Amino acid sequence: MNKIRTRFAPSPTGYLHIGGARTALFNWLLARNMRGTFILRVEDTDAQRSTDEATRAIIEAMEWLGLDWDEGPFFQSRRLDTYREYIDRLIASGRAYYCHCTADEVSLRREQALKEGRKPKYDGLCRERGLGPAPGAVVRFKGPLDGVTHWDDLIKGPIAIDNTELDDLIVLRSDGQPTYNMAVVVDDVTMGITHVVRGDDHVNNTPRQILLYQALDAPLPRFGHVPMILGPDGKRLSKRHGATSVTAYRDMGYLPEALVNYLVRLGWSHGDQEIFSRDELIEKYTLSSVGKSAGVFDPEKLLWLNAHYIKESDPARLAGLAAPLLAEKGLAPPDPDYLAQALVALQPRSKTVPELAEQVGFYLVDRVEYDPKAARKFLTAGLVPLMTDLFGRLEALPDFGEQTLEDLFNGLAAAHDLKLGKIAQPVRVALTGRTASPGLFEVMNVLGRDRVRSRLRQALEHMAASSDEAGPA
């Protein structure tokens, strides 16, 4: 068997959307599983709509997802001579012809056909006239007038289309540009593509492309058409369902491995397993396990997966992702190691990188901003002796490990005849400004002795000021 060669061929007319990313992923996994070649091809022959910005955005999204390619990127706009060569070959063999009909004339005849109950396809007026090039002329493929075009779809199974349903499609426009179907076939032939895996919105293109392969005496690739992705309302996924751009999810703080894991499970399965490493996906992926029905995009499931990967991720990596968000808030971590250490306890509590950045803020400020309700309840004048005692005991600690801190608090509670919770919550507010945080001893360990003492000093000042404002009883 020849080495498998797959491709992803986006049009640079916009961002890489979720559906396109899944198609790229399925082709990438197929190539990696079969130790084949994955090719990136940019279909930019639509000069009016294609932009360099969109091309860069697509490549950036592919790189972020980790979908590396072995060959390319190839650009259709740089291959026009190749397309013309193959079109000339079709003309020379009698499988294509020049058509001088104008678009308006063809449109009128289609309307007439509809009125008469016939199929509104090109009527073949120029098919046997032996015309040559002319201003405004197009080149049409001379398709068969009878018979059936069929293929065994790798996902949908056997599909057959009556050739009478097809018309003589244009392969070269009047402006000299090849049409989509012609360019795609030439690209796939010249690049040796063995498997074409794409969305099922291309099913109607496949019989036309098969006929072109046959006319060029080229070997057919295997075709597989992946069902579309639906929104939660059962309609095709679109902007009305929220973000559909890969880079939008990156900017919202999703990790690439979470999106990859989610997209591959949106139409593919391996038993009941939900979470896969990249190596597991490569090992287990087969097209035979791709479902025939449309997948439904579930934002909550994606968020759940992202929370899992946030929890399991290297804190140093997350620190690098969170740092720019913190800089926007005017919070500059003293060093990456400190930020990474601060994130550890927050990872199980966060679903996205922005959530991490929001929660870690109290570690990075010089002065804590207290939640007013928490301060009124816990930073009271009556606790000044307790906080003062704690302040002194911290200075004498041999180390600032969590167990040492726990032992200190147990001793402090015994000395003041208080339950540990009566001490822990005021200290938590003093150190973080709020009543909810990771474990108190873990917070103190990360902050370090100097920051903890500084914040306790601030709390004592606040408590004294609150007492003065209250006035005499």
The catalytic site residues sit at 239
Classify residue 279 by its DSSP letter. H
* Element (DSSP H or E) covering residue 19: helix 18-33
Contact yes or no for 61/27 (Cβ under 8 A): no
Tokens for 25? 């992923």
Contact yes or no for 348/402 (Cβ under 8 A): no
- The C-alpha atoms of residue 305 and residue 469 are separated, in whole angstroms, by 50
How, if at all, do strands 170-172 and 138-141 pair?
antiparallel
Which residue's entry shows tokens 């063999």?
Answer: 93
How many Å is the Cα radius of gyration of the chain?
A: 33
* Element (DSSP H or E) covering residue 363: none
Tally Cβ neighbours within 10 Å of residue 252.
14
The dihedral over CA atoms of 25, 29, 30, 31, expressed in degrees to the nearest 10, equals 110
What is the per-residue burial (b if ≥16 Cβ within 10 Å, else e) of 306-325?
A: bbbbbeebebeebbebbbeb
- The C-alpha atoms of residue 18 and residue 448 are separated, in whole angstroms, by 44
Contact yes or no for 357/327 (Cβ under 8 A): no
Beta bridge partners of 290: 268
Q: Long-range contacts made by residues 408-415, C-beta under 8 angstroms, separation at least 24?
A: 409/440, 409/441, 412/386, 415/389
